[in-house]
C-alpha cells in the first residue's frame, strides 16, 4: 500500500490568504496541511491581529498564531495603497484560491472585488467568509464567533432552562466551522473547475454552519411549532443521554440513544443493586419520567468512581466517556495512540504541542511542516521569486510602507 507523506493531495494548489483572525486563516490552514502552498498576506509592521490574540509567547506571537497558521508563508502587503493593490493583482494571477473574511464591500472599495479579480484570473476560486454573507439585509453588519453562535441558534440551546444562555463550549466554534466549510467549498469549486475551466465564489456567513448543524430544530419547528428550550446537559428525544457525577468528584457522559442500549444499562445498574422500573425499557415511558430516569442514573453513577463506571459501561457495551479537562487529554492513551497531539520543535518557543491535523488519509497523509511564520518571512521568496521584483524594489516598497 502506498503511504508517501511527500505526496500530498493539494501540492499543485497555490492559495492567497488575505484573511485575519480565525475563520479565513483556519480555512487555508487545512488546505496547507495537505500540501497547498499558502501565501499569507499581512499588514506591514503590525501583521495579522491573530498574532496578538490569546496567550502571547516570548517571541511576541500568540499560541493561536503559531498553531493555526502553520504551514503558511508570510508576506507583507498593504492592499489599501495604489501600489499594494497593483501587487495584489499580480499575486492573484499566480494562485488558484483566494481566502478573505473582510466585511462585505471592503475589497470592492479597494478595487479588488470579485468581478475585478475574476477578470484578472478567470480560474480563481474566491472563498469569502463574513458575519452574514455577501447578500441580505444584514450583510454590512460586523460579526464574530459569539454573534454567530447567538444568531445561528446554538447559544439559545446552551445552558439550563432557568438560567441565561451560555457560550456553547467556545465562542470560536463558528470560526472553525466556517473555516471547515470554506475549505470544503474551495475543494468543490476546484473540482468543478476541472470541468468548466472557470473558478467561482464561495460565500459563507459565519452563522450559517451553526444553523446547518442544529439537527431537527428547523423541521421540528415548521412541522409541529416546537421551539426547543435549554436542557442543560440533557438531550432532546432520548434519555438517559446526559452528564452524570461520579463518586470521586468527576463527571461521565452516558448516551442511551435507543431502547436496546438502555436495556443494557438497566441490566448493569440492576447488577449493582439498583434495578429500574420495568416500563422504562420503552423510550416513551422514559421520556414521560425524564427527571426520575436521570435521578436514578445519577444515584447509580454517584456510587462508583469514574473508572468503575467506565468499566461497567464498557463491559455492557453502553456508550460512555469521561468528561475530560485538557490535562487529562494529555494523559490519555487513546490520544497518544492516535497521535492527536503533535509535538513540534520551533527555535522560537522550543517544543510546542498542538492539535494534529484531521482527517487521517491512509495513502497521502498531510503534515505540519512548521508553525505560524515570522512576519514577512517569505517576502523575498514570493516577491522576488514569483513576481520578479529586485532588491531595490523591495527596499523602496518597504520604505514606503507598501510591504
Active site amino acids: 175
Distances, alpha carbon 34 to alpha carbons 31, 64, 176, 186, in Å = 5, 20, 17, 13
**What DSSP line would sit under 107-158, residue for residue?**
HHHTT--HHHHHHH-TT-EEEEEESS-SSSTTTTS---HHHHHHHTTSGGGS
CA 380 – CA 374 distance, rounded (Å):
13
Contact indicator for 32, 61 with CB cutoff of 8 Å: no
What are the cell numbers at 5?
507523506
Q: Which helix (H) or strand (E) holds 40?
A: strand 37-42
Contact indicator for 294, 276 with CB cutoff of 8 Å: no
CA 91 – CA 71 distance, rounded (Å):
19
CA 102 – CA 178 distance, rounded (Å):
14
Sign of the CA dihedral running 386, 391, 393, 399 = positive
CA dihedral 242, 248, 249, 250 (to 10 degrees): -40
Q: Shortest CA distance to 127 belongs to which of 69, 190, 213?
A: 190
End-to-end CA gap in the chain: 46
Sign of the CA dihedral running 386, 27, 190, 360 = positive
Contact indicator for 260, 266 with CB cutoff of 8 Å: no
Contact indicator for 190, 121 with CB cutoff of 8 Å: no
CA 38 – CA 145 distance, rounded (Å):
24
Q: Shortest CA distance to 61 belongs to which of 330, 368, 376?
A: 376
Strand, coil or helix: what is 267? helix
Amino acid at each position: 500500500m502506498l503511504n508517501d507523506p511527500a505526496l500530498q493531495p493539494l501540492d499543485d494548489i497555490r492559495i492567497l490568504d488575505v484573511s485575519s483572525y480565525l475563520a479565513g486563516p483556519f480555512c487555508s490552514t487545512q488546505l496547507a496541511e495537505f500540501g497547498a502552498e499558502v501565501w499569507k498576506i499581512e499588514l506591514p509592521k503590525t501583521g495579522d491581529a491573530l498574532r496578538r490574540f490569546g496567550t502571547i509567547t516570548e517571541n511576541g506571537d500568540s499560541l493561536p498564531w503559531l498553531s493555526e497558521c502553520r504551514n503558511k508563508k508570510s508576506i507583507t502587503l498593504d492592499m489599501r495603497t495604489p501600489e499594494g493593490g497593483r501587487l495584489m493583482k499580480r499575486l492573484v494571477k499566480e494562485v488558484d484560491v483566494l481566502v478573505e473574511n473582510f466585511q462585505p464591500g471592503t475589497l470592492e472599495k479597494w478595487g479588488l472585488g470579485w468581478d475585478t479579480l475574476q477578470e484578472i484570473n478567470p480560474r480563481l476560486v474566491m472563498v469569502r467568509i463574513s458575519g452574514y454573507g455577501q447578500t441580505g439585509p444584514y450583510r454590512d453588519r460586523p460579526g464574530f464567533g459569539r454573534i454567530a453562535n447567538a444568531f445561528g441558534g446554538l447559544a439559545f440551546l446552551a445552558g439550563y432552562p432557568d438560567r441565561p444562555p451560555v457560550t456553547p463550549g467556545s465562542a470560536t466554534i463558528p470560526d472553525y466551522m466556517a473555516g471547515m466549510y470554506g475549505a470544503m467549498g474551495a475543494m468543490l469549486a476546484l473540482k468543478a473547475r476541472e470541468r468548466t475551466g472557470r473558478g467561482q465564489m464561495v460565500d459563507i456567513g459565519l452563522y450559517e454552519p451553526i444553523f446547518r448543524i442544529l439537527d431537527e430544530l428547523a423541521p421540528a419547528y415548521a412541522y409541529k411549532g416546537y421551539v426547543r428550550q435549554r436542557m442543560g446537559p440533557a438531550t432532546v428525544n432520548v434519555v438517559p443521554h446526559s452528564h452524570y457525577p461520579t463518586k470521586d468528584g468527576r463527571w461521565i457522559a452516558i448516551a442511551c440513544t435507543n431502547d436496546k442500549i438502555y436495556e443494557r444499562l438497566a441490566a448493569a445498574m440492576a447488577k449493582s443493586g439498583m434495578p429500574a422500573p420495568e416500563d422504562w425499557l420503552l423510550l416513551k415511558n422514559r421520556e414521560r419520567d425524564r427527571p426520575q430516569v436521570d435521578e436514578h442514573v445519577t444515584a447509580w453513577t454517584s456510587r462508583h468512581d469514574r473508572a468503575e463506571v467506565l468499566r461497567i459501561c464498557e463491559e455492557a457495551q453502553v456508550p460512555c466517556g469521561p468528561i475530560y479537562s485538557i490535562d487529562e487529554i494529555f494523559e490519555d492513551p487513546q490520544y497518544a495512540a492516535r497521535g492527536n497531539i503533535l509535538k513540534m520543535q520551533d527555535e522560537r518557543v522550543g517544543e510546542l504541542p498542538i492539535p494534529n491535523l484531521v482527517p487521517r488519509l491512509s495513502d497521502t497523509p498531510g503534515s505540519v511542516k512548521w508553525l505560524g511564520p515570522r512576519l514577512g518571512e517569505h517576502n523575498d521568496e514570493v516577491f522576488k521569486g514569483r513576481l520578479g521584483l529586485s532588491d531595490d524594489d523591495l527596499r523602496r516598497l518597504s520604505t514606503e510602507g507598501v510591504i
